[in-house]
Amino acid sequence: MMKFDEKIIGHIFPIGLEKIKIYDLGLKGGRIIINEGVKSLWWNSKKYLINKRT
């Protein structure tokens, strides 16, 4: 996965663009679902949105 991430995604989404932030957020969400479950993703999403507003 890291090789794919570095070679393919690194060229599609140059560092510093908003698209790479969205991609990284999607990866984090996927990891939370796999490791902790959907309910944990829901709570983490709520915390993220609340912190983003302040």
Q: In this prediction, what percent of the chain has a pLDDT beyond 90? A: 13
Residue in the block written with tokens 């709570």: 43
Whole-model pTM? 0.57
pLDDT in tens, 15-36: 666 777 777 788 888 888 999 9
Token pair listed for 13: 């989404």
Question: What is the reported pLDDT for 37?
Answer: 92
Are the C-beta atoms of residues 43 and 51 closer than 8 Å to each other?
no
Residues 14 and 20: beta-carbon distance below 8 Å: yes
The pLDDT assigned to 36 comes to 92
In the chain, alpha helices (H): 2-4, 10-12, 18-36, 38-53
Cα 43 from chain centroid (whole Å): 15
- Extract the tokens encoding 5: 């991430």
